[in-house]
């Protein structure tokens, strides 16, 4: 299943004029934000975007713009109060480096 966060907030933008239809953004997006049609890429699920910027960085035509960042309230608060903490308790999204129990 696909998890969803807030609506109409993300900064993702695409200049479809520049798109060559190479498909790279579709390949790297972990949230399946794009679909491919008429030889170009389309943003079809913007709210699912997590602003990881994989698409923007890997677009050879620089057709995509997005503010890159990690969606972590702890980091946001640390930054807001000018505190130095270890980022994300140094454990953000580590859940992807899973090791099953012995």
Partner 1 sequence: MSKASHKGIKLQVVDDRPLTPCCPGEQPAVSPVNISEANWVVGQLETNTGPVYRVATALDRSDLWGAVKARWGVGRMNYTVPPGLYAIGAPDENAAVLVSANYKLSFDSLRRELSGLNLWLLVLDTNGINVWCAAGKGSFGTAEVARMVGRTGLARLVSHRTLILPQLAAPGVAAHEVRRRCGFNVVYGPVRAADLPAFLRAGNKADAAMRRPSFTLRDRLVLTPLELTSLIKPLSGFALFLFLLNLSAALLKGNPLALLPLLGHTIDHLVPFVVAVLVGAVLVPALLPYLPGRALAWKGLVLGVLWAFAYTALTPGAESWLRNTAHFLIIPSITAFIGLNFTGSTTYTSLSDVIKETKIAFPLIAMAAGLGLIALVAAYFV
Query: Is residue 31 within the footprint of partner 1 (CB under 8 A)?
Result: yes
Shortest distance (Å) from residue 91 CB to ligand SF4: 21
Residue among 67 and 89 whose Cβ is closer to ligand SF4:
67
Residues 6+ positions from 37 with CB-CB distance below 8 Å? none
Q: Give, as ranges, the residues between 17 and 76 that touch ligand SF4 (CB under 6 A).
A: 19-25, 28-31, 33, 41, 49-55, 59, 61, 63-64, 66
Check the CA dihedral 6-56-84-88 and report its sign.
positive
Shortest distance (Å) from residue 91 CB to partner 1: 5
- Cα 21 from Cα 8, distance rounded (Å): 25
Query: Is residue 28 within the footprint of partner 1 (CB under 8 A)?
Result: yes
Q: CB-hemisphere CA count at 13 Å for 31?
A: 19
CB 12 within 8 A of CB 66: yes
Q: Which does 91 bind (CB under 5 to 8 A by kind): partner 1, ligand SF4, none?
A: partner 1
């Amino acid at each position: 299943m696909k998890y969803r966060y807030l609506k109409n907030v993300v900064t993702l933008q695409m200049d479809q004029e520049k798109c060559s239809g190479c498909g790279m953004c579709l390949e790297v997006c972990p949230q399946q934000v794009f679909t491919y049609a008429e030889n170009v890429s389309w943003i079809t699920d913007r709210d699912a975007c997590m602003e990881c910027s994989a698409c923007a960085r890997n677009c050879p035509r620089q057709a995509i713009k997005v503010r890159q960042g990690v969606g972590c309230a702890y980091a946001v608060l640390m930054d807001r109060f000018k505190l130095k903490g270890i980022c994300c308790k140094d454990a953000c999204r580590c859940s992807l480096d899973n090791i099953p129990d012995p």
